Chains A and B, each alone.
Chain A
Amino acid sequence: MALLEIEDLHASVDGHQILKGVNLVLNAGEVHSIMGPNGSGKSTLAQVLARRESYEVTQGRVLYAGKDLLQMKPEEAACEGVFLAFQYPVEIPGIGNAYFLRSAMNAIRKYRGEDELDAMDFLPVFRERLKLLEMDDALMSRSLNEGFSGGEKKRNEILQMAMLEPRLAILDETDSGLDIDALKIVAEGVNALRSSQRAFLVITHYQRLLNYIAPDFVHVLVDGKIVRSGGPELALELEEKGYGWTEAEAQPA
């Protein structure tokens, strides 16, 4: 059974039709990349999969581990193992990073019928993952993403992913705004989590990240539809030719 099966997915935001029939299948152990021009609907797809309720699904279905993902609330999807690394992580003053992360882990553990983690269980793992992502301890006593640089926010998303250990990780342009060193660190964080149990959907605008996270499949999303799919070589082709030709392809014949 595939981990994720997206079938003819249509979605609209504020009355605008953004996704116009997306089809995609991900198996556990695979890394898929979605590329596409700005405004093509990549983030919309990611947010729909993470169950943002203001994004209305108008047609199609999504099965996640055999269950109807579209029936799930965001927290249910999260507890079932779906994780979205946001393109624009939200700053939330007044909520401590570490406190939040432990609350989230415990919410998920509770859902799965596991015991809650106390600070003593939490801290060693937390410290180790912080180190892996070369993040400063001091950031963690601050409010969630508040005053973080763009790169720090993106790394914080990957830190959360590393702590929550999802089965399906969706990375929405985690690479944009990162310098090359930060990009490598983020890629290492992702690669460390790659396993036969887990699938990744890596959304990116540029091919750069894919040098470090080698995808199994690359899909091109244009105007709310996947117009081409292929192997890693497709990313290189896109890099060379730009998105112009794919857009032309997206036009109805």
Chain B
Amino acid sequence: MSGAIEAELRRETMATVAKPMDNYLEAYGGLRALERREPEWMRNLRDEAWELFREKGFPTTHDEDWRFTSVAALARTPFRRAAASHAAVTAEQIEAYRLTGSACRLVFVNGRFAPGISDARSLPAGLEICSLARALDCGMEGCAPTGIEQQLGGYADVRRDVFVALNTALWEDGAYLRIRRGAAIEQPVHLLYVTADGGAATMIHPRTLVIVEDASQVAVVEDYVSLGEGAAMCNSVTELVAGQDAAVSHYLVERENLASFNLSTLRVELGRGARLASHSMLLGGGLVRNNVHPVLAGEGGECLINGLFVGEGRQHLDNYMLVEHAKPNGSSRQFYNGILDEQAHGVFHGRIVVHPDAQKTDAKQTNRNLLLSDEARIDTKPQLEIHADDVKCTHGATIGQIEEEPLFYLRSRGLDEVAARKLLLYAFAAECLDRMQEAPVRRFAEALTHERLLEVARRARPAATVERQDENARNWEEVG
């Protein structure tokens, strides 16, 4: 433990008045007191990250990357690490969250691995999976999986984002996956992160590392759910490293309760000829920030960045895409569809950076939205930063509503108003669902979408009653 932090911990225990941020310091101290057998380098990473978080604090809306999303409410809430006793979640309680057809399932309750309700008994050849804490903690220094020191924390930048710093300082567990060279894992891997209501506001910082070796193939589903209605903060970071010609699909499913703050960062490093399909489904959560940041670090990489966000009530769903083309002949496709009702606020910030070396880059971005009420809002910000001359980059955004004419057409055939609206909303969402290649996950996503859109369809109104849509859709284009 560094002297400065120790001194501060001592000072804080003597203080009588709780200051904002005390809760984080307490969490950090608590975590250190566990005396986990972590390698030295990990402890150093945590200390460095903690210092960064302490210095910078939470971003404000003056910060360009957080212009449309205020985290003031999050900063005000004294989130704490869950007490160990909260982890008593039974298999029955999470049965409803099953992903049928998965290769294995790791369950984390309040950020901690729950082996009793996980299922990783018969794994397909070529798939190694365990809890990340276990991968690092094997009783002595230096016995963690080879190379993990370069990978864990090697991609998600603690300097770029304080939430990544906070996660690095405070993570307790998460998943570690390694797909062996040439292995094709046919069935998806399900990672279920459960926040269980423990009375006080709980925070968890799941950390996941996925190593997809050369020419191998896998689909990973990160699924965030809540048990109970309590407020929680879930701040996850996933680093995914795809080797040469690897093909990887990543799914984020956010379906926590409306009192939740969910922040996630997916940082992907793509090798030569590697392919990524990132699918995000934001269906729940009160305040959600979804960061997707692939770097096409090898020649000829391909990424599909696909997302659906559905908000109602006062949900705030912020999608921040940063696609970096670092090498030639790469292609990226971003497609995000949003459905927003009541006072929901959506954000699509699509940043594309083409580095000088990345000639013949082909990058495309589309954001389509349905605004179903006068108060729903969307901010779209395409941001192209192009430093190479021979590239193709396009972007586009649209807004719409449920139109009266198709609605009448469907109803004139016998579908009731709710069913007709749901069908139209579903058709819009299906553009995203249709891009999902893995059949079990697609069926899973379809079922979740049906369920969610039925709720929205019961309330949503047709076009004639929505008037202020143009005012509430704002485009902040930055193309240079």
Contacts and interface: CB of A to CB of B under 8 A. Distances in A.
B464 A74 contact: no
Contact of A74 (B406, B408, B423, B430): B408
Interface in A121-164: 143, 160, 164
B197 interface: no
Interface residues of B, number: 23
Interface string A103-130: 1110110010000000000000000000
A25 interface: no
Contact of A90 (B405, B415, B417, B431): B405
A32 to B, nearest CB: 20
Contacts of B406: 90, 92
Contacts of B408: 50, 52-54, 74
B413 interface: yes
Interface stretch (A2-10, A78-86, A183-191): A78-86
Given A52-B408, A54-B404, A103 B424 contact: no
Contact of A50 (B412, B427, B430): B412
A26 B47 CA distance: 85
Contact of B411 (A75, A92, A100, A105): A75
A94 B464 CA distance: 22
B414 A90 contact: no
A84 B419 contact: no
A103 B423 contact: yes
A77 B413 CA distance: 9
Decide if the interface of chain B is mainly helix, strand, loop or mixed: helix
A78 B413 contact: yes
Contacts of B411: 73-75, 78
A74 B412 CA distance: 5
A164 B431 contact: no
Interface centre among B420, B427, B430, B464 (most CB of A within 10 A): B427
Contacts of B66: none
Contacts of B58: none
Contacts of A160: 413
A104 B413 contact: yes
A103 B430 CA distance: 17
30 contacts: A52-B412, A54-B404, A73-B417, A74-B408, A75-B412, A75-B416, A75-B417, A75-B420, A77-B412, A78-B411, A78-B413, A79-B414, A84-B412, A86-B412, A90-B405, A90-B406, A92-B406, A92-B409, A92-B424, A93-B427, A94-B427, A95-B423, A100-B413, A103-B415, A103-B419, A103-B423, A105-B414, A107-B413, A107-B419, A164-B414
Interface of B: 404-406, 408-417, 419-420, 423-424, 426-428, 430-431, 464
